[in-house]
Amino acid sequence: MASTLADINSQIKKHDEQIAQLRKQAEDLRNQERAGVIEEVRRKIAEYGLTASDLKLTGRAAGSAKRGASAAPAKAAAKYRSPTGETWSGGRGRKPRWVTEALAAGKSLSDYEIK
């Protein structure tokens, strides 16, 4: 097995190219799987009416200490429920998307009241 340095360098270059192709394939597959997982999570969130707060996704760093002595105000009870199960307390601030879309479609908030 008489290999020259040029032969070995050529083999290394060929293997490096294969490695790069395999890494690209792995990245593409991961992105496809990630897109599927994101879609599945979105469906579950809509199905169960989950909020960022329910999932502890409030923008705070995990494990960060609370500042100040006062606790966060209690969450208001839900007064309205969408057909997909999302809820809204009807409080101040921006209305959820499903509420604004329903109102734009001519629906009334009373159609969605939780009784």
Three state DSSP letters for the chain? CCCCHHHHHHHHHHHHHHHHHHHHHHHHHHHHHHHHHHHHHHHHHHHHCCCCCCCCCCCCCCCCCCCCCCCCCCCCCCCEECCCCCEECCCCCCCCHHHHHHHHCCCCHHHHECC
Cα–Cα distance measured from residue 89 to residue 78, given in angstroms and rounded to the nearest whole number: 4
Cα–Cα distance measured from residue 74 to residue 54, given in angstroms and rounded to the nearest whole number: 13
Does residue 67 lie in a domain region? Answer: no
Does residue 63 lie in a domain region? Answer: no
pLDDT band at 1 (very low <50, low <70, confident <90, very high): low
pLDDT band at 69 (very low <50, low <70, confident <90, very high): low
pLDDT, average across residues 50-78: 71
Residue 63 pLDDT exceeds 60 = no
Residue 65 pLDDT exceeds 80 = no
Q: Judge if 44 and 9 occupy the same domain.
A: yes
Does residue 21 lie in a domain region? Answer: yes
Question: Can you name the residues that pair with 113 across neighbouring β-strands?
Answer: 80
Full domain range(s) for residue 19? 1-55
Domain count, the chain: 2
* Residue-averaged pLDDT of the chain: 86
Q: Judge if 41 and 88 occupy the same domain.
A: no
Q: Judge if 13 and 46 occupy the same domain.
A: yes
pLDDT of residue 73: 72
pLDDT of residue 61: 57
Does residue 61 lie in a domain region? Answer: no
Q: What is the pLDDT of residues 74-103, one digit of tens each?
A: 778 888 999 888 898 888 888 999 999 999
